[in-house]
A and B are shown apart, each in its own frame.
Chain A
Amino acid sequence: MLFKMAIRNVFRHTRRTLITAAAIGVGLMFMIMIDSMFGGVENQVVRNILETDNSELVVYPTGVFENRFLFPLDTLIEDASALSAQLEADYADVVFATPRLRFAVFAIGPQAELFAFGMGIDPETDPKVFDLQNKIEEGRFLEADGDLVIGAGLAKELNLALGDYVLIQTKSRRGVMDVREYEITGIVNTSNPLINSNAVFITLADAQTILEAPAAASEINLHVKGKPRDTERLNVLGSKIGKDLGADFELYTWYDLNAGLFEIAGQKQSVGFFIAFIVIVIALVGIVNTMLLSIYERIPELGTMRAMGFSKGNIRSMMLAEGSIIGFLGSLFGVILGLGVVTYMTEVGMDFNSLMGDFEIPMPLDLHYRGEYNFGYMAFTFFLGWIISTVITLIPARKATRIEPSEALRST
């Protein structure tokens, strides 16, 4: 009977109920939208990193990790291709392995010159781990020694086009200055600004020759089975391989290598959730307000109920049921609305290309932004909205239970 009364009370003022439920719904929709937005951003960042820069697990010579952006040549992995093959053979979870040799370069064009970094990659094994070959905007991917692929942004800065010549100046492992002329055989355009604006790719063999580091590499990238986001599993596998390889090597996950990036994303996410929290609070104030209004309107009725023998518990239960019904409707509405927005963001996406023009986001992010479905979070949001709406109703319910029947009946 109490629940029946609660349902009917909720729809006594249908418009008021629907407005309150809509406020809750909009709040939850924002939460779902923000989660989808950040999920989508994180997905893109992870994908772009894994497709261009680091694989899931990376082997470094011990001590290099901290200084990796200085491209030290004094500590390299010797006989890197052999070690790559060995890792592929020894570990079932390692699907492919490829060595990369990074080094600092001075790229010189006819009209401009810029500091950049060079990357010697194996044209045979690198495409098994990374996806650079599918990001060639013009020309072709590396095929033979003497080929050079340049980041689209760097080419633009240097005012270079496909078929132009670029001088690559670097210092060998022994400190010998080397300058070589390359014809640009490919221009790579990725959503990773690090690659786009700073990288030149040559074959691993070429790099080893220039740097006087035969068979060496600065890192070995391992493409492993399973979900890349399962960093716990990656850490376990990394520890195992590291232990087997001995003290000369260290393994890091893609997450370790880009922790700074995710720290920023984490802060932005906190801001996003703070905004969502504020919206939710506003919605909940709405439900308290609606319930209080409903109680003030029903004082004589509640007094009559108390006079008839309804206990405080009965009144509280009825009020909680009313808040719960509004919360349920609002949460359902929010999830449906949120699903609609997320579907649009994920399936259609938002294209910021024309808006951003030449401006480059300092993150490996696509300008055609897409969201992410997170049904678990939608379910969480639904129950969160429903439970909080019910719990918050304790405040007006307390007011209702404190109504003294004699005083309430006096106001009839």
Chain B
Amino acid sequence: MALLTIEDLKKDYKTGKVITKALRGIDLEIAEGEFLSIAGPSGSGKTTLLNIIGCLDVPTSGTVSLNGTDLSDLKKKARAELRKDSIGFVFQSFNLIPVLTAFENVEIPLILLHWDKRKRKETVEQLLIDVGLKEYIHRRPLAMSGGQQQRVAIARALVKDPKLVLADEPTANLDSTTGMETLKLMKELNERKNTTFVFSTHDKMVMDFAHRLILLKDGKVSSDSKKGK
């Protein structure tokens, strides 16, 4: 069974009397453990699609099912719960909370899930060691490089063992070497934990790295190609 099923997904944005059709009918199936990239030019609907998959936005029509749950039927609170339990996010600008240390940033999702303190400490420390940040555990984001911050963001996305990680242009603010290291890290985690990764990108390196590449154009899937693991 597919982890994610998208059928005839449409999304319109209304600005005054102007209606912008961001998604014009997307059909997709994403299996568990996929390492998938959604690419396309600016305005093609990548971020909109990711937002809807990530329960951050609702479709105008069509259905999105995550593990059999129809996301379009969910109320705001239920969508927030689903985000908290099952989805991890990695953002282009890392979006770490600047007043918290690397440890605390990664710890937050577990606090929200009411894990006990000892278990949280063990899990967060191990994960930060796994992503190569042993020396930076108690540093705040502003005292870290972009690559280190993105590693913290990846650790934060993965700490609760989500079924799905959504990454919106995760390498856009990184140099190519750091970007490649980040991708390798995500791929390693994808292989080790069988977590599904969905990227939006227009970075060729990311497209080449993904197992499956979906190209969007004007709110529609223009191509869907699999390279295999």
Please give the distance in Å from B217's CB to the nearest CB on chain A. 21
- Are B95 and A304 in contact (CB-based, < 8 A)? yes
- Are B51 and A8 in contact (CB-based, < 8 A)? no
**Chain A residue with minimal CB distance to B84?**
A309
Report the stretch among A235-243, A259-267, A404-412 that lies at the interface.
A404-412
For the complex, is A9 an interface residue (Cβ under 8 Å from B)? yes
**Interface residue tally of chain B, by bracket?**
20 to 34
Question: Quick one: which of A301, A405, A406 contacts B97, CB cutoff 8 A?
Answer: A301
For the complex, is A344 an interface residue (Cβ under 8 Å from B)? no
- Are A409 and B84 in contact (CB-based, < 8 A)? no
- Are A412 and B80 in contact (CB-based, < 8 A)? no
Number of contacting residues on A, CB 8 A?
A: 23
- Are A300 and B95 in contact (CB-based, < 8 A)? yes
Contact count A vs B, C-beta below 8 Å: 61
Question: Quick one: which of B56, B77, B97 contacts A305, CB cutoff 8 A?
Answer: B97
- Are B81 and A309 in contact (CB-based, < 8 A)? yes
- Are A310 and B112 in contact (CB-based, < 8 A)? yes
Question: Quick one: which of B47, B95, B104, B109 contacts A309, CB cutoff 8 A?
Answer: B109
Instruction: State in angstroms the CA–CA spacing of A314 and B54 once bound together.
Output: 20
Please give the distance in Å from A359's CB to the nearest CB on chain B. 60
B108-167 interface with A by 8 A CB criterion: 108-109, 111-112, 156
For the complex, is B99 an interface residue (Cβ under 8 Å from A)? yes
- Are B108 and A307 in contact (CB-based, < 8 A)? no
**Chain B residue with minimal CB distance to A405?**
B56
Instruction: State in angstroms the CA–CA spacing of A9 and B104 once bound together.
Output: 14
Please give the distance in Å from A189's CB to the nearest CB on chain B. 65
Which residues of A sit under 8 angstroms from B100, Cβ to Cβ? Answer: 5, 8
- Are A412 and B108 in contact (CB-based, < 8 A)? no
For the complex, is A308 an interface residue (Cβ under 8 Å from B)? yes
> A1-B104, A406-B57 are known contacts. Are A9 and B99 too (CB-CB below 8 A)?
yes
- Are A301 and B98 in contact (CB-based, < 8 A)? yes
> A406-B51, A409-B91 are known contacts. Are A307 and B56 too (CB-CB below 8 A)?
yes
- Are B91 and A308 in contact (CB-based, < 8 A)? no
Which residues of B sit under 8 angstroms from A409, Cβ to Cβ? Answer: 51, 56, 91, 95, 168
Please give the distance in Å from A242's CB to the nearest CB on chain B. 69
**Chain B residue with minimal CB distance to A311?**
B80
Instruction: State in angstroms the CA–CA spacing of A412 and B57 once bound together.
Output: 16
Which residues of B sit under 8 angstroms from A314, Cβ to Cβ? Answer: 112
Main secondary structure of the interface of A (DSSP, over half): helix
Please give the distance in Å from A412's CB to the nearest CB on chain B. 4
For the complex, is A12 an interface residue (Cβ under 8 Å from B)? yes
- Are A304 and B91 in contact (CB-based, < 8 A)? yes
Instruction: State in angstroms the CA–CA spacing of A311 and B54 once bound together.
Output: 16
For the complex, is A306 an interface residue (Cβ under 8 Å from B)? yes
Please give the distance in Å from A403's CB to the nearest CB on chain B. 12
Which residues of A sit under 8 angstroms from B85, Cβ to Cβ? Answer: 309
- Are A307 and B109 in contact (CB-based, < 8 A)? no
Which residues of A sit under 8 angstroms from B107, Cβ to Cβ? Answer: 1
Which residues of A sit under 8 angstroms from B84, Cβ to Cβ? Answer: 308-309
Please give the distance in Å from A1's CB to the nearest CB on chain B. 5
Please give the distance in Å from A121's CB to the nearest CB on chain B. 74
For the complex, is B93 an interface residue (Cβ under 8 Å from A)? yes
Instruction: State in angstroms the CA–CA spacing of A405 and B52 once bound together.
Output: 11
For the complex, is B194 an interface residue (Cβ under 8 Å from A)? no
For the complex, is B199 an interface residue (Cβ under 8 Å from A)? no
- Are A5 and B91 in contact (CB-based, < 8 A)? no
Interface-central residue, B47, B54, B80, B156, by most chain A CB under 10 Å: B80
Please give the distance in Å from B86's CB to the nearest CB on chain A. 10
**Chain A residue with minimal CB distance to B108?**
A308
Question: Quick one: which of A4, A308, A412 contacts B92, CB cutoff 8 A?
Answer: A412
Instruction: State in angstroms the CA–CA spacing of A44 and B156 once bound together.
Output: 67
Which residues of B sit under 8 angstroms from A304, Cβ to Cβ? Answer: 89, 91, 95, 97
Please give the distance in Å from A154's CB to the nearest CB on chain B. 72
- Are B93 and A300 in contact (CB-based, < 8 A)? yes
- Are B95 and A412 in contact (CB-based, < 8 A)? yes
B37-92 interface with A by 8 A CB criterion: 47, 51, 54, 56-57, 77, 80-81, 83-85, 89, 91-92
- Are B83 and A301 in contact (CB-based, < 8 A)? no
Instruction: State in angstroms the CA–CA spacing of A241 and B193 once bound together.
Output: 92
Question: Quick one: which of A1, A4, A301, A406 contacts B56, CB cutoff 8 A?
Answer: A406
**Would you give 25 A-B contacts (Cβ < 8 Å), ordered by A?**
A1-B104, A1-B108, A9-B99, A12-B99, A301-B98, A304-B97, A305-B97, A307-B56, A307-B89, A308-B83, A308-B84, A308-B89, A308-B108, A308-B109, A308-B112, A308-B156, A309-B112, A310-B112, A311-B77, A409-B51, A409-B56, A410-B47, A412-B91, A412-B92, A412-B95
Q: A12-B99, A301-B95, A406-B51 are in contact. List 8 more A-B contacts (CB 8 A).
A: A1-B107, A5-B99, A300-B93, A303-B95, A307-B83, A406-B56, A409-B51, A412-B91
Q: Hey, which bits of chain B sit against chain A, CB under 8 A?
A: 47, 51, 54, 56-57, 77, 80-81, 83-85, 89, 91-93, 95, 97-100, 104, 107-109, 111-112, 156, 168
The 8 closest A-B pairs by CB, nearest first: A309-B84, A8-B99, A304-B95, A406-B56, A406-B57, A412-B93, A406-B51, A405-B56
